[in-house]
Structure 1
């Protein structure tokens, strides 16, 4: 069953050790029950969600290509993710730091509504908020070039900037059709 139900069951694929390697890396220690709450999206589904929630402009295919006046402008500063990313281990799980606390507080309003990790128009994952808190280092291992976290149910988003800063906000406009 798809985490993003309105796209249908064929919108996602199971996580695969070769393509989605960080989720299976022992350094990140992601429990199986969390992996079950992560869905890799097909490029077609990712493109549809990008067009619907981020940008329909053909040249804006990556978060760093969005124009300066794009409607998703951060209004909330978050903690630095880079130092915590480097410290994640079995002794220091991803769920125990300031990044996890920021993500929980930012995406808590919609309960289990999925959060999308969008590295580009064609690379995206859908996660429950609980899985996001456990798996954020895996996502940033896949792409740390300004990926966008977006929760369609609330319109809330978080930018993961390459220099290590998190910033968030809320989409105040209607999504593209």
Structure 2
């Protein structure tokens, strides 16, 4: 009887480890570029739980996920799978949650942070809420919430009366514009 329980426990443990690994890989791949997807994934957290019935995986306690140039840091990350065991949503919560990734060789590292970062795999939209901030190549945008469409490249910023949307656009170094005295 004892060996049967050990065998059952080992089987359950292996299923959970497989579930953790699958969600970690899918979580990072949702944010990663094709070049990053070929890199190993590193996930560090104080605690990880996986519920096979609900398809919810939770990582808590100084969570850091890295793959290639992509890095995601948060106090907690929750991944929700759909019925096909594919990522439906990823929610990162922190004070703040942070991410960064090298978008291309020509562009600098893109960085973002917010109290909450939600990635919706169906729509390809990343929503940053709570003192949201995005920065790349000297340009930045800040607001209460930011929505970025990975599919379209569109961004929408929302502010409030006390926290208005702020954009910083660097001057173009490749173009020269005539000044008032020219």
Query: What TM-score do the two structures reach when normalised by structure 2?
Result: 0.26
Higher relative contact order (CA 8 A, sep 6+): 1
Flag the structure with larger Rg: 2
Structure ranking higher in helix proportion: 1
Query: What TM-score do the two structures reach when normalised by structure 1?
Result: 0.26
